[in-house]
Structure 1
Amino acid sequence: MQLATIIRILGVLLMLFSFTMLAPFAVSLWYGDSAMTAFGAAYLLILISGFILWLPFRGHRRELRVRDGFLIVVLFWTVLGASGAVPLMLADNPGMSLTDAMFESISGLTTTGATVITGIDSLPKSILFYRQQLQWMGGMGIIVLAVAILPMLGIGGMQLYRAETPGPMKDSKLTARISETAKTLWYIYVWLTVACALAYWLAGMDLFDAICHSFSTIAIGGFSTHDASMGYFDSALIDYIAIFFMVVAGVNFSLHFVTFRSVSLGHYWRDPELKTYLMILGATSALVIGALSFTNVYDGEMDTFRHALFQTVSMATTTGFATQNFSAWPIYLPALLIFVSFVGGCAGSTGGGMKVIRILLLFKQGMREIRRLIHPNGVFLIKIGGSPLPDRILEAVWGFFAAYVLLFAIMMVMLMATGLDQVTSFSAVAAALNNLGPGLGSVAAHYGEINDFSKWILSFAMLMGRLEIFTLLVLFTPTFWKS
């Protein structure tokens, strides 16, 4: 374990992160709000902390191993969550406690979108911008961004990329060098953000709201600058723009890259994960539209279609935006939308959940077991895109699924032990572990009224979901720490 090198890298990453405080500081300066001092102090505090960590070990430049990469990723997200909470605690408005500030910061960085804040409309503009910025940075993964920068500082990045990139197949690269891969992904990410902001602005949002909501849309985050979320704008055009970009952001960014490079849409149509992703969105939307029409929740067919499609896409992609209070919808709909968030977006997207590719592989494995019952001596291969998959990947998917279910059950019971009811506990853990945001029961609108211990459990669940469980769990095994 290269502890000296790890501490040095952590110091560098913290110093880099400190510069993100300058953007909300500039927003505060522009609007003349009260949070300017908080962001200035946070910038200096984080910068100095990173410098103190870096200085004693600045000469250590050893190659990272896989174990080092896992430890750096977990340390960085944990320390970053604490660092991101600093301006939220220092600012007079919202003036948050340590627990609430950590919850809000981790929720933003993991693109969960769960909030403890009420009265969002009255927050300073700089705080509003900062919350959206946290989600935007966390969307593609701050470690991936760092991988593009750290080679210039003499730090290799392949181990970090393996630990951070979401999805079951983590070793595929778009370009020969990992730094070029990270840069390419971020170019696509930035251009999608710009396109989304322009579309929102042309549809009627003011420039500030357009930029802020483009951050959380492309990041599949769900934070908004208004308590009513996207419902504040009451615009069908804005809703359909959001639907389009949420769907796009839920697609594997490798597909976006390959399509852009080849100037051909054929890669989209041939990708089995994307087909499954669109089928799930379509089937769930049809169920929600049918149920809302049957129960006459809305007067017009177009309103029914619009709200059903928006809320389905928002929940299925784990974005968490809202135009309506879906928790008040009748019959099975609230539970259905929570359950569909377990699937989430595609691997390599900014979405949360278990990822579509894993669900597809679990389904194929189940069908193979059924065929084996009929033909015990048969040999059946599981293929994705015409290529057979090794059993090692299938075993990893089953292991992930088992760990996901077990951890979900444990955290749900722990929340219930604090006094929360079953519906609140179930939906809160689902919303945190799937990086979704909104839940049911006491957390349908916000998480401000639940107890502090539950907030810490959910903060841990958000990190577990963002790092896809094993990246964090591996640190708790004795084998990891053996030399």
Structure 2
Amino acid sequence: MKFDAVQKVLGLLLAIFSFSMLTPVVVSLIYDEGGAGPFLAAFTLIFGLGLLILLPVARSREVLRVRDGFLVVVLFWTVLGPAGALPFWLAPNPNVSMTDAVFESISGLTTTGATVIIGLDHLPKSILFYRQQLQWLGGMGIIVLAVAVLPMLGVGGMQLFRAEMPGPMKDSKLTPRITETAKALWYIYLWMTIVCALAYWWAGMTVFDAVGHAFSTVAIGGFSTHDQSIGYFDSTAIELIAVTFMVLAGMSFTLHFMVVRRQDPRIYFQDSEFRLYLLVLVTVIAITTLALYESRTYTTWWEAFTKGLFQAVSISTTTGFATAEFYAWPPFLQILLLLASFIGGCAGSTGGGIKVIRFLLLIKQGVREIGRLIHPNAQIPVRIGGKTVNHRVVDAVWGFFSLYVASFILMYLMLAATGLDLVTAFSAVAACINNLGPGLARVGPHYADLNDTAKWILCFAMLLGRLEIFTLLVLLSPAFWQR
């Protein structure tokens, strides 16, 4: 283990992250709120900590290996939660405990969108902007952004990229150089955010709300600047814009890159994962709309369709925006939408969940096993897009799925042991490990009423989901620490 290299990168990343505290300062000055103090204090503390970690090993020339990359990613996200919590804790409004501040910070950075803060409409603009910014930075992964910078500082980034990027197809690079790959992804991410913000502004949002909601939409985060979320605006145009960009952000950014580079939209429909992603969305939307109308939750087809469309896309992509209280809908729909979040977005997207490609591989593997029962001696490969999938990828998907289920059950039992009812406990774990946000029962509107123990368990669930199980749990393996 190259501990000097790990320490150097961790210090650099913390120092870089500290500068994110300065943009809310600018916002507080623009709106003349006088709330810059907590952010300046947080900047000083985080930047100082980064330097304290960095300076003793600044001259080190050790190169990161794959194992070191996993350690950096986990350490960085673990440290980032408390670091990002400082402004929430130091600010007089909201007046929250350290537990709540860390919960809100981790929820933002992991793009979960679960909140413990009530009364968003009365918060300072600087705090509101900071919440949205946390999700935007966490969306594609702060570390992927840093990958484009670290090589200039003499630190290789491929190991960080492999550890950070979601999905089972991590080793495929868009460009020959990893720096260029990270830049390409962030250019697409940035332009999508700009276009989304302009669309929101055109539809009637203020500039502040447009930028803030563009941050959380493209990040598939779900934080809003209002307690009523997107429902606050009561605008069909805004809802349709949100749906469009949630669908786009739930798709693979590598696929977006290929379409842009080749200027051929047909590439989308040539991708097996995208076709299944679209099929899942259309199916959930259709069932939700029909059930809302037939149950008389809404009396017109149009209202059933618009409410069903928005909630189905928001929850299926694990965004977590709302225009209606879906946790008060018929129980069948509550469970359907929550289960849809388990599938989540595509690999390489900002979405959470298990990922569409993994479900596609599990389905194909199941079909193959049925074929083997009929023809025991046949060699039946698993194919995606006409290409045979390496058996190690299929094994990794099964391993991921089993660890996911085991982790889910363990945290479900732990939450139930804290005194939560079973529906609240189940949906809270599901919403946090899938990086969805809103759950059912007590965690439908917010998480403020949960006890501190439950909140810390859910913080771990959010990190586990964001780092896709393996990245975090691999550190618990004794073999990882062996020479």
For Structure 1 versus Structure 2, the TM-score category normalised by the shorter chain is over 0.9
Q: 2:55 — aligned with what?
A: 55
Q: 1:226 — aligned with what?
A: 226
Give the residue type in structure 1 aligned to 2:251.
V
Deviations 1:173-193 (A, max 9, x none): 000100100001000000000
Give the residue type in structure 1 aligned to 2:285.
S
Q: 1:371 — aligned with what?
A: 371
Distance 2:61 2:356 in 1: 39
Distance 1:363 1:5 in 2: 41
8 Å CA contact 1:316–1:344 kept in 2: the answer is: yes
- Deviation of 1:35 after TM superposition, in Å, equals 2.4
Give the residue type in structure 2 aligned to 1:197.
A
Give the residue type in structure 2 aligned to 1:338.
L
Deviations 1:244-279 (A, max 9, x none): 000000000011001001111121010000000000
User: Is 2:125 aligned against 1:142?
Assistant: no
8 Å CA contact 2:157–2:178 kept in 1: the answer is: yes
Q: 1:414 — aligned with what?
A: 414
Q: 2:156 — aligned with what?
A: 156
Give the residue type in structure 2 aligned to 1:29.
L
Give me the TM-score of the superposition, normalised by structure 2.
Answer: 0.99
Equivalent position SS for 1:75: helix
- Deviation of 1:105 after TM superposition, in Å, equals 0.3
- Deviation of 1:62 after TM superposition, in Å, equals 1.2
Distance 1:438 1:331 in 2: 15
Deviations 1:116-158 (A, max 9, x none): 0000111100000000000000000011000011111111000
Q: 1:326 — aligned with what?
A: 326
8 Å CA contact 2:290–2:304 kept in 1: the answer is: no
Q: 1:441 — aligned with what?
A: 441
Q: Which moved more, 1:87-96 or 1:418-427?
A: 87-96
Distance 1:479 1:122 in 2: 51
Q: 1:37 — aligned with what?
A: 37
Superposed, 1:393-408 pairs within 5 Å as 393-408=393-408
8 Å CA contact 1:432–1:461 kept in 2: the answer is: yes
Deviations 1:47-82 (A, max 9, x none): 111111111111012111111000000000011111
Q: 1:462 — aligned with what?
A: 462
Q: 1:244 — aligned with what?
A: 244
Give the residue type in structure 2 aligned to 1:74.
V
Distance 2:152 2:379 in 1: 50
Q: 2:256 — aligned with what?
A: 256
Q: 2:171 — aligned with what?
A: 171
8 Å CA contact 1:35–1:93 kept in 2: the answer is: no
The percent of aligned pairs where both chains have the same amino acid is 62
Distance 2:286 2:97 in 1: 43
Equivalent position SS for 1:113: coil
Distance 1:296 1:453 in 2: 39
Moved over 6 A (4+): none
Distance 1:175 1:354 in 2: 26
8 Å CA contact 1:424–1:442 kept in 2: the answer is: yes
Distance 1:349 1:365 in 2: 23
Give the residue type in structure 1 aligned to 2:40.
G
8 Å CA contact 2:229–2:321 kept in 1: the answer is: yes
- Deviation of 1:95 after TM superposition, in Å, equals 2.2
Give the residue type in structure 2 aligned to 1:303.
E
- Deviation of 1:34 after TM superposition, in Å, equals 4.2
Distance 1:11 1:365 in 2: 43
Q: 2:109 — aligned with what?
A: 109
8 Å CA contact 2:12–2:54 kept in 1: the answer is: yes
Q: 1:387 — aligned with what?
A: 387
Give the residue type in structure 2 aligned to 1:389.
V
Equivalent position SS for 1:332: helix
Deviations 1:294-340 (A, max 9, x none): 01211322111111000000000000000000011114000110000
Distance 2:227 2:350 in 1: 23
Deviations 1:322-375 (A, max 9, x none): 000001111400011000000000000000000000000001111111111122
Distance 2:96 2:60 in 1: 38
Give the residue type in structure 1 aligned to 2:465.
G
Equivalent position SS for 2:134: helix
Distance 1:16 1:337 in 2: 38
User: Is 2:404 aligned against 1:427?
Assistant: no
Deviations 1:405-438 (A, max 9, x none): 0000000000000000000000000000000000
Q: Which moved more, 1:372-381 or 1:466-475?
A: 372-381
- Give the aligned CA root-mean-square deviation in angstroms: 0.7
Distance 2:57 2:461 in 1: 32
Q: Which moved more, 1:56-65 or 1:134-143?
A: 56-65
Give the residue type in structure 2 aligned to 1:444.
G
Distance 2:473 2:70 in 1: 10
Q: 2:297 — aligned with what?
A: 297
Structure 2 unpaired stretches of 5+: none
Give the residue type in structure 2 aligned to 1:267.
I
Equivalent position SS for 2:149: helix
Distance 2:98 2:481 in 1: 30
8 Å CA contact 1:34–1:92 kept in 2: the answer is: no
Equivalent position SS for 2:343: coil
Distance 1:181 1:411 in 2: 36
Distance 1:317 1:184 in 2: 23
Distance 1:332 1:29 in 2: 48
Q: Which moved more, 1:292-301 or 1:248-257?
A: 292-301
8 Å CA contact 1:220–1:317 kept in 2: the answer is: yes
Q: 1:316 — aligned with what?
A: 316
User: Is 2:136 aligned against 1:133?
Assistant: no
Structure 1 unpaired stretches of 5+: none
User: Is 2:265 aligned against 1:265?
Assistant: yes
How many residues are treated as equivalent by the alignment? Answer: 483
Equivalent position SS for 1:26: helix
8 Å CA contact 2:285–2:312 kept in 1: the answer is: yes
Give the residue type in structure 2 aligned to 1:57.
V
Distance 2:154 2:240 in 1: 45
Give me the TM-score of the superposition, normalised by structure 1.
Answer: 0.99
Q: Which moved more, 1:9-18 or 1:209-218?
A: 9-18
